[in-house]
Structure 1
C-alpha cells in the first residue's frame, strides 16, 4: 500500500476557494453558497455535524474574502478546520435570525447583472442545501435568484490536482487489493450479504475509512445494476457482479468485476467478452478534447452491435473524487470536453432479467495524451468456488 499522503494545507484550501469564486464569476454567477456536504469539505476541510438543522454556509464571490457562517456552538470546531485560516468566520446564536447574519454578505445592490442584462445574476448554491435555508435567504433578499451548482458550476471539483490524483490512485490500489483477496474466499453456499461483509472488511483492512457500497448480485440478482446484497444463497453456476468502493484518505474508490462460481457457459463467456471489449474500447477512446458523451457512445456502440443494446440500461460512467459519484457523467447529451486531471468510471454492463448480469468498471483519469486506469486487476471472468 502507498504511504499516507501529506494533509491539505490552508493554502490549498485558499486556492480552491479563489478558483471557485473565479469560476462562478466566469459562469455569470454573483457568487456561490456552499452548504454542509462534499463541496464544503473540498473547499474548507470543514465537516459540520451531519444532523444539524442550523444554518451553515460558506459564501464565496470574486473580489470578496470568503466567509463561513456558522452557529456559535459550532464555531470552535470550525476554527480547527484546516482551511479556517483562509477564511473569516461569522457566527450566529440560537434565538437570532441566521438569514439576517448572512444577507449582508449577499448585498443585492452590488450584484452584477445577469449575462442577458435582465435582472441580477443568479447565485450558485450547493445541491444539498436545505430548502428551509434557501427560502429563508430569498425572504431576506427579495429579488435574488439561485441556481444549483450542478447546473451552474458542474466542473467545480472535476479536474484534480496532483495531490488529489495521488489519493485517488491509492484508493484504486486498495480496491484492487480487495478484489484480489475476495477471489480467495468461498462463494458457493454463502449468502450475498456474507460476501458483502467480506468486501467491506477488506476495504477497511486496505486503508478505507468509509465503505460506501458493496454490491453482490448473484445469478438473477446480477441483472439489477444496484442490487443490494441480500440473503440469497449463492449457488454453483452463478454469475456474480461485484461492485464496491468507498473513501480512502478522503477520496473515492469504485470498481466492478464479474466472477463465476465454477466454469461459465459459452453464453456467459460471450456476454462477458462483449462487456470487456466495450469497456476496453471506451477506455482507449479517452483523451483530452473529446466530449464526455463520446466515451458513452463508444461503449454503447459495441454492445449494440453485439445485439445487447437494450440491455445496457445505465450511463457508462460518473466522476469520482471526494464523493464516489459526482460530475462529469459519461452519458449521451453531456458535451463537456475531457480535460487532463478529470477522473471518472468507465463501467458498461449487460443485464438479462431473470438470468444474470455482467459489469466491468475501472476508474480512469485523463492524461495529456490519453487516459490512465486507476484499477489494474484482471478484467477476464474469474472462476471462484
Structure 2
C-alpha cells in the first residue's frame, strides 16, 4: 500500500529526487544497520564519512538543497526527508539529519555570504558536522523548554565577545566542526557561529540516552572564556531568540518527516512478520489482536503524513507556522509512538531484539516526543494562544 499521498502534485524534479533517495536508502543504507561501528552514542565518524561518500556517488547527498544553494519548499522537502528516514542511518547518509539540517536552514536564511562560505558550505557538502548549543543543565536552573532561563553569558571585549556557561544535551558536539552557540548579553539572547573543536569548549561527558542514531551522542559541555570575533555574531546583540525561532518551527517539522519514514519502515517489517508467522493454527495477521493493530498503524501513519503536509503548506505560504508546527509536533510524535509500540507488540519477542530496526525505532521515537519541545510544552503554548484569542474576541 502506497503510504505517500498526493505526490503527483509535486514537480517532476522533486519526484525524481525522491525516487533516487528511496532507492539509495533501501538498497544501500539498510545494509549498514548492523555495522559494528554503531554504538550507544551513535554511528562513528568513520561510518558517517563512508555513508556520505556513498550518498555523494549516488547523487543524493543533501538532496533537499539544490546546486545553486536554494532549498526545496517545505512540502517538497517532506517527500525527500520521509524517504531518508526509512533507515535510522538514512538521514545521516543523505546529510538531512538533525542538528545539521536545521543549522543549514538557519544559516541559509540569515548568514552573510562570508559566513555561508566559511561555515555553511562545508556542512552542505557533508565535510563537517555541526552542533547547536542552546539547552543548559536542569540542575543549575538553566534554559530548557524555557529559553528565557538562559544562564550562559556573553560580554563584549574589544572586537570580540567572551562566552561562559554550561550546555546540556548538545547533539553531535563530539566530532562537530561547526557550532552555533546561544548566550545572553545585557541586550538579551545572542547567537554566535564558531569553529570546532575549540579548547574553550570542553565536553565533560557524553550522556547515555535511549536513542542512538545521531553521531556524537548528546553531550554536557562547559564553555570557559570562549573568545569569538564580533563578525561571528549572527545578527545583532539581543536578536538571538528571533533567529532561533526561524530555525525551530521548520526543525520540528523535519523531525516529524524523518521519524515518519522510520515508522513506515518499522510497520513494513511488522507487517511482513505478521503475514509469515503463525500461531494457534493461523497467521498472526488473521488474529484480530494483531491485524487490528496493523490497521490502526495505517491510520496513524496516514494522519501523520497529512499533518506534516498541512504544516509544510503553511510554512510555504510565508506564515511562520509557530502554532501549526506545535500541533504537528504533538500529533505526529504521539501517533508515531503508538505505531512504534504496536510494531514491537505485533512481533512479540522478536520486536525487542536488534535483529530488526523495530526496537531502535521505538527508542528513537520515544526520545522524539521530548526533543524540540515535549508534547506538554507545545500543548501549554497552544493553550496560551487559545486564552489570548478568547480574550481578544471578548473585547471586540
Q: TM-score, normalization: structure 2?
A: 0.27
Q: Could you state the TM-score of these two structures normalised by the residue count of structure 1?
A: 0.28
The structure with more strand, counted as a fraction of residues:
1
| Larger relative helix fraction | 2
